[in-house]
Every structure is written in structure tokens, then in C-alpha cells.
Amino acid sequence: MTDAPDAAAPSAYTGVETYSYLGPAGTFTEAALRLAPQAQGKPWKPVNNVNEALADVTSGRSVAAMIAIENSIEGGVTASQDALATTPGLRIIGEYTVPISFSLAVRPGVALEDVKTIAAHPVAYGQCRAWLTTHLPGHTHLPATSNIASAGSLFDEGLRVDAAITPPNIRERIQVDVLAEGIEDNKTARTRFALVSMTTTLPPRTGADKTSLIVELPEDRPGSLVQMLEQFATRGVNMSVITSRPIPERIGRYRFVIDLEGHLHDARVADALRGLRRYSPHVIFLGSYPEADGTPVQVEGNDTDEHYAEAEAWLASLERDPDGLG
Amino acid sequence: MTDAPDAAAPSAYTGVETYSYLGPAGTFTEAALRLAPQAQGKPWKPVNNVNEALADVTSGRSVAAMIAIENSIEGGVTASQDALATTPGLRIIGEYTVPISFSLAVRPGVALEDVKTIAAHPVAYGQCRAWLTTHLPGHTHLPATSNIASAGSLFDEGLRVDAAITPPNIRERIQVDVLAEGIEDNKTARTRFALVSMTTTLPPRTGADKTSLIVELPEDRPGSLVQMLEQFATRGVNMSVITSRPIPERIGRYRFVIDLEGHLHDARVADALRGLRRYSPHVIFLGSYPEADGTPVQVEGNDTDEHYAEAEAWLASLERDPDGLG
Amino acid sequence: MTDAPDAAAPSAYTGVETYSYLGPAGTFTEAALRLAPQAQGKPWKPVNNVNEALADVTSGRSVAAMIAIENSIEGGVTASQDALATTPGLRIIGEYTVPISFSLAVRPGVALEDVKTIAAHPVAYGQCRAWLTTHLPGHTHLPATSNIASAGSLFDEGLRVDAAITPPNIRERIQVDVLAEGIEDNKTARTRFALVSMTTTLPPRTGADKTSLIVELPEDRPGSLVQMLEQFATRGVNMSVITSRPIPERIGRYRFVIDLEGHLHDARVADALRGLRRYSPHVIFLGSYPEADGTPVQVEGNDTDEHYAEAEAWLASLERDPDGLG
Amino acid sequence: MTDAPDAAAPSAYTGVETYSYLGPAGTFTEAALRLAPQAQGKPWKPVNNVNEALADVTSGRSVAAMIAIENSIEGGVTASQDALATTPGLRIIGEYTVPISFSLAVRPGVALEDVKTIAAHPVAYGQCRAWLTTHLPGHTHLPATSNIASAGSLFDEGLRVDAAITPPNIRERIQVDVLAEGIEDNKTARTRFALVSMTTTLPPRTGADKTSLIVELPEDRPGSLVQMLEQFATRGVNMSVITSRPIPERIGRYRFVIDLEGHLHDARVADALRGLRRYSPHVIFLGSYPEADGTPVQVEGNDTDEHYAEAEAWLASLERDPDGLG
């Protein structure tokens, strides 16, 4: 149940198409990477935390990294947001969500009534509290460094571990019996992951896209945020996420992490970004990419590309006579 | 003091550059036409009312017409606004303001103490009430059809008129004595006039321009007007005039007569018009033209053409790498 | 066809309940006064213009005055708006609309083919132009000081008038024949009148009310008007009229004449006024009164008095425990 | 290095004034509790997670609980936000921030060059990565259940731990040597904690207060959030935090966790809450309480209590005459 800080030797990943992720193999982050079509069949590199993953990308050691950006069981969300706000050139090129579910795994042949000591990552342990209190009231918790290390410890005789809390697909990796599935308290929890790269080529528009931004306000006063959001509202652009975060160096100033519905290639999104660029002292474009759930964006009112093209044609028509009076 | 309904024979004005105005010669409308450089040295046609003036323009009999659009002493403002809202193709190509001031004119040799009967257009008469009450308390009012006809009546012996209320420059036209100038009650009144044409060539941008619009709202509910005005505010476009007017055929629906600061060739104005075209079910562009008073438009914040160009360049830069990952 | 400047002797109107209006008897303004229930059976005083009417009210000579505030055929709208903006204490206590329609009146026995000279107030004459051009192409116009004076001139033998343009009810006053009714060009024109007083008692709420205001903006910049209008929109208050008017003494500054749907006793209107008072450097409350057309105000969303009361009760409930921890 | 699931027997905490916190003693959460004046000298109860802490409060076993609400090193932020959104009656009565800093502790006499194995909570371990890579490149990580359990493990001979990552004040509890302080990668990290209770008595207004809310939008469309925020902007209320969170049961619907500057007893905050209650289908008031940093709230414009009182007085003055006309 120990873990070397750099288990993966960087030299193994010098080829062009390596993908970094929070390891070891078997984590929820790896499950997210399995959902990214472009990563399949390429070398994958497990790393220890978000900063290592992003350093692989900015240095060119990897073409992309999968990082958690919301509700992560494996930590790192704040680090992800801060890294995206401060590392120039990073782009989100895909979004994936993974349901967070846990199983109780044992060595083959061990029965539930024999379980006394349970190995588990502390956060995973905290999320299975209700099930454990009901079914194993007198157990002892032995912490593990990851949701995979917990299962590995079942076979470390020195540790005397009887059961482990593991991801649902643990039997693909380790020969264990699963005594119970879905033991997590919150059955609807999902973690949202982003595939991050240094490219400036955008994923093609699919009609079910999202655009991520980080925006600062010009001043801290009532109405300043409203005016910024009007840049979206007047273009018919809907938001799915907004989160204020204090700017560390500047007391009382905030940046906003924002997800818009739509793609930079949607006329209304491009127009909103033009307005935002003028309004805000600092805008970071983090990318346009397909939404994890593929729900097509509903554009209400007069804000489709056709409406934008019609308005542009109307504007041009206002001046079409070259021989007028002047 | 009679007046034929069509004093001016249309046949006299078939040449290309005729300008129509509310006559007869000597009106404040004619004074406005003297301020329009392009009209100098061209034939001018006096007409009886705004509708005749605009009909001259739409039929091609005149290239342009001068009409009052605000605070007119000579009437017709409502007719002007309604005509602009319902006559396709009309454009304002210039704006002029004329101070409204009156003189008391008499036949040469007549003294103030001899004045018993005063000829005056009823509206002009109403605007000189205070002076007349003070200086000529026992007088009688004889109505005239125009501010020029009043002066003409001094020489109609059948009418026994002793004095006339006239525009300040009356001695250019008629041999009268002026007993008093500036007899109007309100010393700051000005009338705003527009020169109207059928051209789609815009007057060049001067930096002190105005853009006139008529806009309908998509629905009648609280906040509907605010949303429309946000199309201006988010682009940094200021308004100098807004007036709601009920749409005759549709109870409870309004159109808005709006003057913006700036020219269609200002990036922020063009962008606001694009947004307005999408938001509103009906937008009429009435023209961009130099302001009467020539006050340069102050553009605050980040809304100059340079800021718009910078935002456009930034947007383009977001996708400049052709060999990225995708 | 002459008209003494002060035809009505003030001494006749010293009783408490006199109502002033733009005379003479028979004008559209008088027709509006007939619609005001509280004025019936009381002395009415015809005056020469809006300023005289309002001076009667501010001096206490009359309890109220009827003045035109929109689209007036008889002039004075601008004077009305300016007077309301600058005379402290004036209140609108009722609104009335009168359709503007004209008849062609003659002495009994005169036929249409005999009509050569037509007496008419110049504005009325302008509004019947199309009918006159069609039916009486060769006529001559003799101006009159009012729509009643025109009819009176039929019997002034010195004037040789054959016909007069008059209001529709002219036969109630003068023994004439009416050759044609509805000869006005615009069949839908109505003038809006206000009954103005010095009271601070509001007319009771009817559910079909209007509130009139004059408001200044704190500064002249894009978005300043929008922010003011948000004070209405956030309270669910709809506007039926908005008109910008330059403030004479201050270049580039505007005041706004506004009509809201609803009564000061509606919670949403009172709340909007509180907000407006804080936002604006100068707000004039001109009154809450029944709408001329009696259309009940539709309150959408959560902005009824019941919703306001519920929100107030909710707010109080947030602190109801007197023995808490603190 | 084992940990019983319910180390603290509830029976020990039946007195009235118990405070629950995420234990064991020595955590950053306990450090936050030391900052709450009302908790000093009262029994404190360490619990295992946020849900246990809040269950103590809702059941009455404790009068209040300290929970992390932002940037927590010890986890539980998401659980805190979800619990506040779904547990009726919870109120925040105080806010506290604690700097997050770590030390490297050893048994007395152990030197840095002897350190091979380091016990650390996995999240703390991740936050000291850079220092460890530089100073102890060949070490092994042994996970611990808490930042205190790591230090305890130094004395568990079976574990062969050489050093532990601990909070800065570890020597108050355990007899260790501290080899290095401030070994965290991010020197400015702070965790924000809230003291939560079931009271409806508000902490008194201090002038440096915050009000926390959870608000739902009436519909998911562009502009819906802006309209909600206008309820704050029109009252001059500034926000310091806004975070959108999907509502689990309803796809595409969001709730917003919001912190306002000011206290419910500030007129502008109360007025904004009234408006919010009408606009939103669901508002949860989480409390008004002193800000952690005690920065006085700056109220700009006309939004002080005095301005609100003046506006109320003005409104009352509009109707003060009892003998008016009506």
C-alpha cells in the first residue's frame, strides 16, 4: 500500500500522442479517458496530480491530459480551475462525465461477515458511510492512496485488510470478489472531466457544444456582473455554469468561470465574445467542444446563425445605392 | 389674406434638384432650408403641409424636403413622425435647428400706441401672449394662415390690420417697420427640422453624427423595452431621443422613435443595429447624418472603432493554428 | 371673426368649484371636460391657452383645468408638458380621450356647389385637406382662431364665408346645416386630455389606472436610461408612454415623461417609485388616476399586491424566533 | 493508524451548548472553531464528516457545527453546499477563514536525511508535492485518515513512519520535532468555514456583514439569470460569491449559491430579498452574519438606510393632504 511519487517514467512517453491522466490505471479519471475517441489506441501516462498532468501538456510531453473539473471524488478541481486561469494556451477539447459508484471487493472466498478492516481512499470512504454503518457497523478503516491501491492492499499480507472500496470495474484489473455494488450514499453523483490540450484548432461544431471562459470584471460594484452577463443575454446565449472565484493577488476582485451553451462557430457565441472582449479587462477563451451529454443546444428567439446572417444582409442593404444624393 | 390650396404649380419643379418645404417663403421651415448646403442655388418649392412635401420626394418631383420634427411652431410634427414610420424608403440626410423668435411689424410710420388689431398665425399669437398683454392690453387678434401671410395682411386695406406677428427676418421680404423684436414668451425655443430624401447613400461620417430609427417591441410586457435598449447599452451606444407612440391599428402596442449618438459607419452603431434587427419584429432605419449642433460624440469605455477592431482580431486569433489536434 | 384676449371675466369664477378649459365653448377640450364626472353641474371657465388654465389652478381661481397632453388639434401639448415639469404641486386626477372629427357646416339652405370660401382654424384645415381637394377643389381658405369661431363667421356678413370646418356637435350651439361629417383625413385620431389640479388626494384605485411621472437621469451615458427602467422592470411595472425631452438649461441632459400602468396604491408601483426616488436626482409624481379607456391593467408574473404581501410575510418570518442563539 | 467510525460517543454531548466539528482535534476545522467567540469554553464534539455534523445540529444534539464551505483541504465542501440547500432551517451564524499551511514533523531527534517514509492525508500530500520532490526525492508516501492521524502514526512502531505532514500547530498536541514549516506549494491558500445553527435569531448587524442565499431561476433561458441579478443591482446590493449548481432531479435547471454584501437589517438587502422572493420559485435564506475579514461594506450611490428612509418619507408625502379634491 505504498506508492512511489513518480511511478511512470517520463521516458516511456516521448512519442507524439501520449495522454496524461490522474493514475493509477483504474481511477475514475482513467474511465473518463476511455470515453475520448481520439485517445484510444494511444499511449496513456498515469500521473500523480493535476499539476503534473498539465505540465506534461505545456511541455509537449503529452498532447492532452484528462482532468477533473467538477465534483471530483479524486480531488484536484480547484487546482484545475486555477491552472486553467493562469496557464496561457491551455484549451479544453472535450468534456466527459463519469458516474461515481463504488463496490465492496474482497479476496475470493471472503464473506461479508468476515470483514473487519476496510481499505479505502478517505474521500471514497466518506461517500459510503451510510452503507458501511448499516452493513459493517464494527469495522475499521485503513486509508489508501487511491481507489485502486485499496484493492491492491487486499493481497498485502502485512496489512490484514479484509475488504476494499473500489470503482465498479475493479474485476477487469484485479482478481477479487465483489460483495456489493452501488454502496455509495449519493446514487446520482457524477464527476465532470475535461480533456485539455495546447491546440488552437477547435473541435468541429456538433450542435451540442459548450464554450468555456474565464472573465474578469472591470470594477467591483453592484451591477458590474449584470452588465457583463448582458453581453450574453443580448445575443441569446445561455449559460450552464457560472462560478465566482476571488483573484488571489487582488482583494475584493473576482474572476468568473463560465460555460456557455454553443460553439465559437455559432454566430451568437462569436458575437458575445466580441462584446465580452470589449467589456472585460481580461477574458480567457478555454475552448469550444462537444457537451458530455450531447444534448442539442436549443436556440430560442432570433439568435440562430440564419437570424444573424439575415441581420447582416439587412445592414448591408441599408446602403446599397451607389449613386444617391449624399 | 386668402390662400389658394396649391399656390405652387408642380410643373415649375420638374428639374432634378428641387427642394420642397412648408411655405410660403419666409417661414421657419424655409429658414431651415437655408442651412442645408446642398440646397443652395437649387429650385425651392413651397408646399402646404408635410404630406405634400413628402409626396414630392416619394414621387421624384423633389430630391428632398425639409420638415419639422420637434417642437414646431408651424405644426406637422406628428404628421412627420407618422409619415416616416409608414413611407418606405424615406431617409433623413441632415438635421437643422432654428431659433423661434417673433417680431411685431407695422406699416412704415405706424406707432405702437396706434396698434389696435394684430394679424397672427394662432400658434404664433399664443406664444407672444405675455408681451402682448403687457404692451398692447386692449388689442384684437385677427388670425392668419402663416407667419408671412400676417405681414402681407398689413397692406390689405379691407382688413384694417395695424400690426403683424412675423419671423425676425421679415424685412428681407416686405417693406415694414419692426416695432419690437424677441416678443416671444419662451426665449430658448428652437424647432428641429430634418431634410428628407429617398437616397440610400449615407452622408459621410463627421464624428458628430446622429442615427434615427423607428423600432417596434416584440411583446408588450414589463422589461420588453429594457431588453431592447440593452442592445444599445451593451454596445456603448447612447440615445439622445426616445418617444413611444401607439401603433394605430394595434391596441396596446407601441413603436419607438429613437435617435442614437453616432453614425452607421461607427462599429458600435452597426453592431447595435444588427442586434436590434434580431430583437425587434420591425426596425426602420431613418438615416445617419450630421447633428445640427455639431457636438462631437463622446465614446466612453471600450466602444471605439479601435476597440471593435481589436476584439475582432482577438476573436480571429483564437483559431490561428491550422495543424492542431482537433 | 375677432376674438378679445380675455373674453371670460375672471370675476365670474370666484366660487370654489370652477373648472378651466381651452375655450370657447364647443372646443374638443370642452368635449373632454364633459367626460369628467366631478365637473358636471359646476361653473366652467373658458380660457385662451394652457398657461392661463394652469394659472387658474395654481392661484386657486379654479379647482382644476382640462388640458391636452397628446396629439392635440388645438395646440398646447408642449406647453402642457413643460408646465407639468416646472409647476410644483400640479397633479393629474383624470384622463380623457376625444375622437377628432370634423364636419362641414353652412348657413341653412346653402348647397355644396355654392361653397367658395371656407373658414377654418389652420390646423383643422390641414387635417381635412384630402376631402377638400376632392370635393371643393377651387375653394379659398379663411383662417379662424378656433373651431367654433369658424362657424360663427358664417353669420358675419362682412366676411363672405360660405362654409366652416367645425367639430361634430356644432348644431348644439349654432343653427347651421351640416353638409358632410367625418371629413378629416385620419379617421382614428384622438386627443388625450388630462384634468389637472393642486390636490394631494389621489383618485381611488380602480384596477384600470395610470401613474404619470417626470424623471431625470443621474448622468448622460449609455445604459443610464436602462438602469432607470430596471427600477420598473424588476417590480413588474409596465410603461405605456415614454418621451425624452431636453432640459432647457442643461445641454445634453434629458428628462423623461413616463406613464406607468397601475396606481400608487398598487404595491408594485409604490415599490418602483421608492427605487426611482433613490436612483434619480429628480422625480416628479404627477398623479395616479383612472385610464381614459378603462382597460384593466394586466399584472403578469409575481407582481400582484398578494405577491408583495406574501414576500413581506416571508421576510418577517426569517426572524421569528426571539430565543435563538444569536 | 486506524480510526473507529464513531470515535466520539454521542452521550458525552447531551448538554445544551455543544459544538460539532470535523475531527479529530487538531484539524483545520477545529482551528476555525477556535475563532468563534460563542464556542469558547463550551464542549466541542469531533465528528467524521459534514453530514454527521449537520445531523447533530438538526437533531439538537449540538447547538452549532463548524463546516468548510470553500477550498477545503479536508473535503466536504460539496456536501456542505448540498446540505444547506436541502436541510430546512439551517442558518449560517458566522464565517471564519483559516490559512492552510503544513509542517514536516518527526519523532524528536530524527533528521531530514533519515526520512524515507512520510505519513500524510492524501490531499495534504498532494499540496506539498513540490517541496517533497525537492527535499525528499526518494521518499515513500503512507496515507493517513487525517492531518492529525499522520502525526500519531510516527509513534506506531509497526508502521515504520519517519515523518508526517501536519498542521502548523501540531506541537500543541504531540511531542514531535518540526523539521520544516510552510512546506505547502500554495502559500496563499485559505479555507472558508461557516458556523451553522438552527436559530432564526440573526447575529447583530456590524457594518461588515454578509448574507447567504440559495436561489432557483424560474426558467432556463438566456437572460433569466440577468433578471434575477437585477433584483440586487437595482437595490445597490453587491455580490461577493455566485456559484451555479445543477439541481440533481431536474436536468438543465440550476440553483445559485450567492453571498451578498450586507445584512438583512440593511434596507437595501431586505428590499432585494423581497424582490427575489417574488422573482424566484424558491429562495433559501441562509443567514446574515459578520464577514470573516471584517471589511466594512461600501455602499455607493443612493442605497444607504438613510436613502431608503428618505424615499419612504417622500412616498408618504405624495398623499399628505386629507381634504383634497379626489
Distance between CA A257 and CA A81 in Å, rounded? 8
> Per the structure block, which three cell numbers stand in for B124?
404664433
Measure in Å the smallest separation between the Cα of A53 and chain D Cα atoms.
13
Phi, psi of A65 (to 5 degrees): -140, 145
Output the pLDDT for position A325: 34
CA-nearest residue to C17 within chain D is D325
Distance between CA B151 and CA B140 in Å, rounded? 16
Please check whether residue C108 is in contact with residue C302, taking contact to mean a CB–CB distance below 8 angstroms: no
Q: Which residues in chain A touch residue D5, judged by CB atoms under 8 angstroms apart? A: 129, 132-133, 137, 139, 141
Closest CA to D238 of A280, A228, A224: A224
Contact: C2, B232; criterion CB under 8 Å: no
Measure in Å the smallest separation between the Cα of A321 and chain D Cα atoms.
37
Neighbouring chains to B with at least 3 Cβ pairs closer than 8 Å: A, C
Q: Which residues in chain A touch residue D295, judged by CB atoms under 8 angstroms apart? A: 252
Q: Which residues pair with A236 in a beta bridge?
A: none
| Cβ neighbours around C40 below 10 Å, total | 11
> Per the structure block, which three cell numbers stand in for A205?
461544431
DSSP classification of residue B108: T
Query: What class, spelled out in words, does domain B14-99+190-197 have in CATH?
Result: alpha beta
Output the pLDDT for position A85: 86
CA-nearest residue to C94 within chain D is D326
**Confidence at B83, pLDDT banded by 50, 70, 90:** confident
Neighbouring chains to C with at least 3 Cβ pairs closer than 8 Å: B, D
Output the pLDDT for position D253: 77
Output the pLDDT for position D261: 93
Output the pLDDT for position C76: 63
Q: Which residues in chain B touch residue C123, judged by CB atoms under 8 angstroms apart? A: 75, 123
**Partner-chain residue, chosen from D278, D314, D323, that has the shortest CB–CB distance to C303:** D278
Per-residue pLDDT tens for D303-320? 899 999 999 999 999 986
Output the pLDDT for position B80: 83
Q: Are strands D190-197 and D209-216 parallel, antiparallel or unpaired?
A: unpaired
A103-181 is classed in which CATH architecture?
3-Layer(aba) Sandwich (3.40)
**Sign for the pseudo-dihedral over CA of A194, A197, A199, A203:** negative
Q: Quick check: B72 pLDDT over 80?
A: no
Q: Are strands D239-246 and D140-143 parallel, antiparallel or unpaired?
A: unpaired
Q: Which CATH superfamily is domain C15-99+190-197 in?
A: Periplasmic binding protein-like II (3.40.190.10)
Q: Which residues in chain D touch residue C231, judged by CB atoms under 8 angstroms apart? A: 234
Which residues are within 8 A (CB) of D193 and not within 5 positions of it... i.e. 6 or more apart? D29, D32, D66, D67, D68, D69, D95, D96, D97, D98
Per-residue pLDDT tens for D81-98? 878 888 889 999 999 999
Per-residue pLDDT tens for D289-303? 999 988 888 887 788
Q: Quick check: D31 pLDDT over 80?
A: yes
Contact: D242, A225; criterion CB under 8 Å: yes
DSSP classification of residue D138: T
Which residues are within 8 A (CB) of D221 and not within 5 positions of it... i.e. 6 or more apart? A238, A300
What percent of chain D has pLDDT above 70? 90
> Per the structure block, which three cell numbers stand in for A301?
428567439
User: In one letter, which amino acid is A114?
Assistant: D
Cβ of C201 under 8 Å from any chain B Cβ? no
Q: Quick check: B299 pLDDT over 90?
A: no
Output the pLDDT for position B189: 79
In the three-class reduction of DSSP (H, G, I as helix; E, B as strand; rest coil), residue A128 is classed as coil
User: In one letter, which amino acid is B227?
Assistant: Q
Q: Per CATH, is A14-100+189-197 categorized as 3.90.1530.10?
A: no
Which residues are within 8 A (CB) of B280 and not within 5 positions of it... i.e. 6 or more apart? B215, B216, B217, B218, B228
Measure in Å the smallest separation between the Cα of D63 and chain A Cα atoms.
23
Q: Quick check: A137 pLDDT over 70?
A: yes
User: In one letter, which amino acid is D207?
Assistant: G
**Sign for the pseudo-dihedral over CA of D144, D148, D149, D152:** positive
DSSP B247-290: -TTSTT-EEEEEEEES-TTSHHHHHHHHHHHHH-S-EEEEEEEE
CA-nearest residue to B133 within chain C is C5
Q: Which residues pair with C117 in a beta bridge?
A: C140
Range list of H helices, chain D: 28-33, 50-59, 77-86, 122-127, 129-135, 149-152, 224-233, 267-279, 305-317
Q: What is the mean pLDDT of residues A117-133?
A: 89
User: In one letter, which amino acid is C266?
Assistant: D
Output the pLDDT for position A228: 93
Output the pLDDT for position C320: 66
**Confidence at A69, pLDDT banded by 50, 70, 90:** confident
Per-residue pLDDT tens for B141-180? 998 888 888 999 999 888 889 999 999 989 998 999 999 9
Cα-trace Rg, chain B:
24
In the three-class reduction of DSSP (H, G, I as helix; E, B as strand; rest coil), residue D46 is classed as strand
> Per the structure block, which three cell numbers stand in for D187?
502559500
Output the pLDDT for position C249: 67
Q: Which residues in chain B touch residue A319, judged by CB atoms under 8 angstroms apart? A: 200-202, 264
Distance between CA A60 and CA A53 in Å, rounded? 11
Q: Which residues in chain C touch residue D235, judged by CB atoms under 8 angstroms apart? A: 275
DSSP D29-41: HHHHHTT-GGGTT
CA-nearest residue to C137 within chain B is B5
Per-residue pLDDT tens for D208-219? 999 999 999 888
**Confidence at B74, pLDDT banded by 50, 70, 90:** low
B209-309 is classed in which CATH architecture?
2-Layer Sandwich (3.30)
* Residues of B (119-178) whose Cβ lies below 8 Å from C: 121-123, 126, 129, 132-133, 137, 139-146
Q: Is ipTM strictly over 0.90? A: no
**Among the ranges given (A5-14, C46-55, D191-200, D290-299), the one the predictor scored with the smallest mean pLDDT:** A5-14
Dihedral over alpha carbons B31, B34, B36, B39 (to 10 degrees):
130
Please check whether residue C270 is in contact with residue C264, taking contact to mean a CB–CB distance below 8 angstroms: yes
Contact: D201, C322; criterion CB under 8 Å: yes
Please check whether residue D74 is in contact with residue D28, taking contact to mean a CB–CB distance below 8 angstroms: yes
Q: Which residues in chain B touch residue C303, judged by CB atoms under 8 angstroms apart? A: 222
Output the pLDDT for position B158: 81
Contact: A129, D48; criterion CB under 8 Å: yes
**Partner-chain residue, chosen from A202, A303, A319, that has the shortest CB–CB distance to B202:** A319
Contact: D248, A188; criterion CB under 8 Å: yes
Range list of H helices, B264-304: 267-279
Measure in Å the smallest separation between the Cα of A236 and chain B Cα atoms.
10
Closest CA to C257 of B245, D299, A194: B245
Output the pLDDT for position B184: 93
Distance between CA A242 and CA D241 in Å, rounded? 10
Per-residue pLDDT tens for B271-297? 999 999 999 989 999 999 999 988 888
Distance between CA C151 and CA D7 in Å, rounded? 105
Q: Which residues in chain D touch residue C278, judged by CB atoms under 8 angstroms apart? A: 236, 301-303, 307-308, 311
Contact: B238, C229; criterion CB under 8 Å: no
Contact: D5, A129; criterion CB under 8 Å: yes
User: In one letter, which amino acid is C9?
Assistant: A
Contact: B278, A64; criterion CB under 8 Å: no
Residues of chain D with CATH 3.40.190.10: 11-99+189-197, 103-181
**Among the ranges given (B110-119, C74-83, D237-246), the one the predictor scored with the smallest mean pLDDT:** C74-83
Q: Using the structure block, give the residue that is written with the C-alpha cell 408635410.
A: B50
Distance between CA A185 and CA A130 in Å, rounded? 6
Contact: D319, C201; criterion CB under 8 Å: yes
Please check whether residue A61 is in contact with residue A47, taking contact to mean a CB–CB distance below 8 angstroms: no
Q: What is the mean pLDDT of residues A7-28?
A: 70
Please check whether residue B263 is in contact with residue B202, taking contact to mean a CB–CB distance below 8 angstroms: yes
Q: Which residues in chain A touch residue D141, judged by CB atoms under 8 angstroms apart? A: 2-3, 5, 145
Q: Quick check: D323 pLDDT over 80?
A: no
CA C160 to chain centre: 36
Contact: A230, D229; criterion CB under 8 Å: no
In the three-class reduction of DSSP (H, G, I as helix; E, B as strand; rest coil), residue A194 is classed as strand
Measure in Å the smallest separation between the Cα of D270 and chain C Cα atoms.
7
Contact: A230, B231; criterion CB under 8 Å: no
Residue of A229, A268, A293, A299 for testing the chain D interface, max D β-carbons within 10 Å: A229
Range list of H helices, D88-153: 122-127, 129-135, 149-152
Cβ of C230 under 8 Å from any chain B Cβ? yes
DSSP B180-203: EE---S-TT-EEEEEEEES--SPP
In the three-class reduction of DSSP (H, G, I as helix; E, B as strand; rest coil), residue C58 is classed as helix
Q: Which residue has the higher pLDDT, B4 or B194?
A: B194
Q: What is the mean pLDDT of residues B209-227?
A: 89
**Confidence at A49, pLDDT banded by 50, 70, 90:** confident
**Among the ranges given (A91-100, B193-202, B206-215, C45-54), the one the predictor scored with the smallest mean pLDDT:** C45-54
* Residues of C (237-296) whose Cβ lies below 8 Å from D: 264, 270-271, 273-275, 277-279, 285
Most confident of A214-228, B106-120, C211-225: B106-120
Q: Using the structure block, give the residue that is written with the C-alpha cell 367645425.
A: C166
Q: Using the structure block, give the residue that is written with the C-alpha cell 447567504.
A: D212
CA B156 to chain centre: 33
Q: Which residues in chain A touch residue D188, judged by CB atoms under 8 angstroms apart? A: 248
Q: Which residue has the higher pLDDT, A73 or A326?
A: A73
Residues of chain C with CATH 3.30.70.260: 209-312
Residues of chain C with CATH 3.40.190.10: 15-99+190-197, 103-181
Output the pLDDT for position A247: 78
**Partner-chain residue, chosen from C145, C220, C254, that has the shortest CB–CB distance to B122:** C145
Q: Quick check: B323 pLDDT over 70?
A: no
Query: What class, spelled out in words, does domain A209-312 have in CATH?
Result: alpha beta
Say how many CB pairs under 8 Å bridge A and B.
124
Contact: C2, B226; criterion CB under 8 Å: no
> Per the structure block, which three cell numbers stand in for A128?
459510503
Residues of chain A with CATH 3.40.190.10: 14-100+189-197, 103-181
Q: Which CATH superfamily is domain D11-99+189-197 in?
A: Periplasmic binding protein-like II (3.40.190.10)
> Per the structure block, which three cell numbers stand in for C178?
351640416
Output the pLDDT for position D72: 64
Output the pLDDT for position B246: 77
CA-nearest residue to B63 within chain A is A325
**Partner-chain residue, chosen from D188, D233, D242, that has the shortest CB–CB distance to A223:** D233
Distance between CA A121 and CA A170 in Å, rounded? 15
CA-nearest residue to C123 within chain B is B75
* Number of helical H runs and strand E runs in chain C: 9, 14
Closest CA to C84 of C57, C60, C44: C57
Q: Which residues pair with A123 in a beta bridge?
A: none
Q: Which residues in chain C touch residue B2, judged by CB atoms under 8 angstroms apart? A: 117, 140-142
Residue of C2, C72, C226 for testing the chain B interface, max B β-carbons within 10 Å: C226
Q: Which residues pair with D260 in a beta bridge?
A: D211, D239
Measure in Å the smallest separation between the Cα of D177 and chain A Cα atoms.
24
pLDDT tens, N- to C-terminus, chain C (326 residues): 334 334 333 334 445 699 999 888 888 999 999 999 999 999 999 998 788 899 999 999 999 999 988 766 666 677 788 788 888 899 999 999 999 999 999 999 999 999 999 999 877 888 898 899 999 998 999 988 888 899 999 998 888 899 999 999 899 989 999 999 999 988 877 888 999 999 889 999 999 999 999 999 888 778 889 999 999 999 999 998 898 887 776 666 788 999 999 999 999 999 999 999 999 989 999 999 999 988 888 887 788 999 999 999 999 999 864 443 33
